[in-house]
A and B are shown apart, each in its own frame.
Chain A
Amino acid sequence: MGFFFEVLIGGLLSGVMYSFVALGFVLIYKASGVFNFAQGAMVFAAALTFVGFQELGVPFWLALLLAFAVMVVLGILTERIVLRPLVNQPPITLFMATIGLTYVIEGLAQGVWGANVRGLELGIQDEPIQWLLEATDIGVSKFDLFGAGVAALLVTLLALFFQYTRIGRALRAVADDHQAALSIGIPLQNIWRIVWAVAGFVALVAGLIWGARNGVQFALTFTALKALPVLILGGFTSIPGAIVGGLIIGSTEKLAEVYLGGYVGGGIDSWFPYVMALAFLLIRPEGLFGEKHIDRV
């Protein structure tokens, strides 16, 4: 039983990591209706930029700030060059454009910083918490717990930002109805720039946590692929959905790998979340927390 809980907790905590990336998707989707496939590339680019600056001898906090600045610039450029000319295009066109954006960001980031794998040190070890292991025989990684804590903090910050600031209110208005928001004088393009900047920040945090765990490497872009089933499960428009979806995907994925993987030769975590999300979609096409859509004729 202890083993079951260890797997479950490990899964839940790694699910939090998926939620990080999913969160970036949700932010952009909510505000601009764009399904931003490039979120994974942004995670990669952010982490790589941070490490790159550190390698140049820039201290931790300044590197963090510089990486954030780069992500903001990236967001603004994306809004200006990609999104603005594509306003009013079908969502699927915008989605394909973000696939293109993915390639551009990956190419740029590797072109500037190089493609070799780097370590990233946040000062927290990926080892079980000793007293918990001794007391309950359940191994919980310190690092995973730290990641979960950061996630909780981030979600709280975002919630406060959306709820209580003027920009947050404008963001929610834009998410509800672009036209209506425009008509009461909310500058749509500013809002989009801010959202992309915030998504860039979320990508940076995700990139640091993921990068510290697995090394800063190209594989970080695949975090986007991990986040997609989370989104399907949680719905594209819901921040709690991203968190709950992440927890569900993370835990079932690990449990499935441990308890089912043996029968089929392992490695099922590449597709299991997708198949699960798919099965779920067939029952509830709008996701756990998504809004139901009725076709009108």
Chain B
Amino acid sequence: MFYREAGQFKTSYAADQQIFPITQDRVGVLLILAFAFLAVPVLFNEYWLKAILIPFLIFSLAALGLNILTGYAGQLSLGSAAFMAVGAFASYNFMLRIDGMPILVAFALGGLSAALVGIAFGLPSLRIKGFYLAVATLAAQFFIVWALTKFEWFSNYSSSGVITAQEIEILGYRFVSPEAKYLLVLAIVVLLALAAKNMVRSSVGRAWMAVRDMDVAAEVIGIRIMHTKLLAFAVSSFYCGVAGALYAFAYIGTVEPEGFNLDLSFKILFMIIIGGVGSIVGAFLGAAFIVLLPIALDVMVQEWLSGFLSPSISSNLQLIVFGGLIIFFLIVEPHGLARLWQIAKEKLRLWPFPH
């Protein structure tokens, strides 16, 4: 309501190029951040924090990473989960093998390791496009999971590659309670999201979109295709890597390579399709949707249909609903929830006088 820009005149390019040029957006984002940092830890119980909000934030970060690569740079990847695995296992090993390694540095190094692996598996994108490339990213998915399982050094010689993430401790404070973990994850995700937003509205983001929209023209303008694509792979994998590290350290605790399987990669892809391909806020909307949907379905099946359906049906129902929604969004709103949100805003700008 009252989402109106009337009267907000920009008198300088600086004002026009702010991260959120519209006052309502600025205020809205600040309110949401204040709520997330101050109110959520108090208002929500342990179940919500542990089972919904923390995974939501972590998946948002992974979806953000994939969206940079797929939504902005136009390179479809089916291997996001593998890059998360690299981040998780690398962080674990940095913590394990280097005494006194600060955990945040370990997360960053985990992300950087994922970025390096991402560059390696991004190299084929210089020669191949479209679903040939998508299939090539499957090579990353299978190879990485296999390598992490087979080479026991990665998991410190535990059976079948299972690792238990170390405790998070920063400057003597131990992040044990769900509230503390939530706040840490939130801070990291917010910072990285802002960085992503800044990148996509700067020349690097424009270069990504140019390569996505028409690579020949992009090259003629002076964009170095190789550099631009590999940078997208690196940044995207970095985000996925950090998400993977948080997944292991702040969410699950004990993970195995098989946990980062193709299904998880698809789930992250679904998040950006439903949330909005090529949109930062879309990554968050999509992640929220995919995290909440199974829970909502379970509740609905138990509440209304428990008499008719066996409990095992609900996992199949989930598959059908997931798949159906993907098709639905691709057909009806290829730009996802983010686009719906934008339309709603445009409607609100004119409300209550739409003409």
Contacts and interface: CB of A to CB of B under 8 A. Distances in A.
Contacts of B266: 99
Contacts of A91: 130-131
A60 B216 CA distance: 56
A295 B313 CA distance: 49
Interface string B111-133: 00000000000001001101110
Given A85-B331, A265-B151, A281 B138 contact: no
A297 B317 CA distance: 47
Interface stretch (B192-200, B227-235, B322-330): B322-330
A110 B315 CA distance: 10
A97 B323 CA distance: 8
Contact of B330 (A97, A231, A274): A97
A94 to B, nearest CB: 8
A262 interface: no
* Chain A interface residue number, banded: 35 or more
A232 B138 CA distance: 12
A115 B323 contact: no
A107 B323 CA distance: 9
A92 B136 contact: no
B273 to A, nearest CB: 6
A34 B322 CA distance: 21
A278 interface: yes
B326 A103 contact: yes
Contact of B124 (A85, A104, A268, A282): A282
B216 A96 contact: no
A175 B284 CA distance: 40
Contacts of B146: 267-268, 270-271
A95 interface: yes
A269 B185 CA distance: 37
B269 interface: yes
A107 B317 contact: yes
B320 A232 contact: no
A74 B271 CA distance: 26
B35 interface: no
Interface in B85-144: 124, 127-128, 130-132, 134-136, 138-139, 142-143
Given A100-B325, A115-B312, A86 B330 contact: yes
Contacts of A89: 330, 334
A92 B131 contact: yes
A257 to B, nearest CB: 12
A281 to B, nearest CB: 5
A294 B143 CA distance: 32
Contacts, number: 126
B26 interface: no
B47 to A, nearest CB: 27
B309 to A, nearest CB: 9
Nearest to A29: B131
A93 B331 CA distance: 9
A50 to B, nearest CB: 19
Contacts of B151: 265
B296 interface: no
A192 interface: no
Given A107-B316, A275-B139, A297-B216, A97 B150 contact: no
Interface in A116-141: none
Given A270-B142, A275-B139, A96 B330 contact: yes
B64 interface: no
Contacts of A186: none
B319 A103 contact: yes
Q: Which of A85, A102, A281 has the most chain B CB atoms closer than 10 A to its own CB?
A: A281
Contacts of A225: 138, 262
Nearest to A270: B142
Nearest to A276: B139
B318 interface: yes
B127 A110 contact: no
Interface string A244-265: 0000000000000000000011
A285 B132 contact: yes
A285 to B, nearest CB: 5
Contacts of A1: none
Contacts of A103: 319-320, 322-324, 326
Given A92-B131, A101-B323, A107-B323, 12 more contacts: A92-B134, A93-B334, A103-B320, A104-B319, A104-B324, A104-B327, A225-B262, A228-B138, A267-B146, A267-B149, A274-B135, A285-B127
10 contacts: A85-B331, A95-B134, A97-B326, A100-B323, A101-B323, A115-B316, A232-B135, A278-B136, A281-B132, A297-B216
Interface of A: 35, 81-82, 85-86, 89, 91-93, 95-97, 99-108, 110-111, 115, 225, 228-229, 231-232, 264-268, 270-271, 274-275, 277-278, 281-282, 285, 295, 297
The 3 closest A-B pairs by CB, nearest first: A103-B323, A100-B326, A107-B319
